[in-house]
Amino acid sequence: MTQSSHRLRSLSLRGSRRLVFPISLALMVLIALAAFGKLGLATELLDLAVPLMVVLATARTLVFLLRVSAGTDVHLGGWELFISILLWGGAVLYLAGWLPLVTQILDAVGFSVGGVHISLLGIVRFVVLITLLLLASLATARLIEARINLKSYMDDGLKVGVAKVVR
């Protein structure tokens, strides 16, 4: 097994390990929620747990995607903390019932250019979407580059050229 193949396998295992816990826990909570509902038992705490598990899975996925796209040699502690605080803050707003109010306020702050209304909410959504697309494309490029490096029949110069085109 080559070093590139080992790194790709290790990357896949780390990514799946990050998601197995929150997804399996969310599935167990959903099963318990259905069972409690059938038995007529209180489900308030279980209703609270499902969004928390979704946020945990999302945070772990985004941090993993950030690590894959940036590489292992880059220190990302500040960005990981920022993503976690942002997601958990959103979860708190959602669970407290304040998220609709915050989105209304963000949508109210803005200006019109011609017939187009540009709000702070629209700008935040745009920045988040572009960031996610950029991270996904960088992570995909890294994975393709790792797969290209596994090909022993390709010349090293061709591998570098294809990797640069992919990026």
Question: Residues 17, 131, 15, CA angle at the centre, nearest 5°?
Answer: 10
Can you name the residues that pair with 117 across neighbouring β-strands? 112
What is the per-residue pLDDT for 12? 67
What is the per-residue pLDDT for 3? 64
List, for residues 37-96, the tens digit of each pLDDT value.
899 998 888 888 888 888 888 888 888 777 777 766 667 778 888 888 999 999 999 999
Query: For the residues 114-131, what does the mean pLDDT come to?
Result: 92
What is the per-residue pLDDT for 123? 94
- Phi/psi class of residue 162: alpha, beta or left (left: φ > 0; alpha: ψ in -120 to 50)? alpha
Query: Going along the chain, which residue ranges are E strands?
Result: 110-113, 116-119
150, 2 contact by CB (below 8 A): yes
Q: Which pTM does this prediction carry? A: 0.68
